Amino acid sequence: MEASYWLERWGPGTKQGFHQTRINSRLEQFWPGLPLPADTSVLVPLCGKSLDMLLLHKAGHPVIGVELSEYAVEAFFSENHLSFERRETGNLQEFTGTGNATGIRLLAGDLFELDVAQTGPLMGFYDRAALIALPPEMRARYVRKMASLLPGGAQGLLISLSYDPSKMSGPPFSVTDDEVQALYADDFSVTQIDLSSGPERLGNLADRGLDTMDERIYHIVRN
């Protein structure tokens, strides 16, 4: 999947069906149960302009988001009436929140070119829309990249979807439980903490031909 696909999807005036207009209820339900101190830095890969980052920030976490589209990053700040400063950091554009947004840093650029020197220490992460945004041939590379950014003991939540792929083509892509377990087996411990099934999980995906879907929530810890 080319970068141009996502840049076009995030372009001005386009409708982002994958962007949720409220904070994810599963994040609200399960994040408080993680044994993470409030000051733990949290990585949000392929963050878009997700409102979920506001919940993490309100919980006291320094938030480091990574997003290919500069437009989406700027939209996060402008749509939430948050101030920021911008500068280049290596091959990425860094948007650093100021005022009420102090503690939020969004990096615009390619996740696969990110390194720890740019993120700083990370012990938490939240993936609602990264793994399921990637086609099969990119998922193992993504998990290896996450392993390279996270030290032992780092932990977070993964939200994954699975459905009948003959009824809808991604993104979001269907990623089965077996695939999640296999992808993360080498570098992470994976625990499924919730499974919800049925048409009520579909949201706007019902318009794309699906009649049901499984949503799984995982607690994932870096070995």
Instruction: Tally the domains of the chain.
Output: 1
Sheet holding 188-197, edge to edge: 83-89, 92-98, 104-108, 63-67, 42-45, 124-127, 155-162, 214-222, 188-197
The answer to the question of residue 16 being in a domain is: no
pTM of the model: 0.92
Give the residue numbers spanning the domain of 185.
Answer: 3-10+23-222
The answer to the question of residue 40 being in a domain is: yes
The answer to the question of residue 162 being in a domain is: yes
The answer to the question of residue 185 being in a domain is: yes
Is 91 exposed, middle or buried (CB count within 10 Å of its CB: 0-12, 13-18, 19+)? exposed
- The chain-wide mean pLDDT, for the chain, equals 91
Per-residue model confidence (pLDDT) at position 21: 82
Q: pLDDT per residue over 55-87, tens digit each?
A: 999 999 999 999 999 999 999 999 999 999 999
The answer to the question of residue 204 being in a domain is: yes
Q: How confident is the model at residue 10 (pLDDT cuts 50, 70, 90)?
A: low
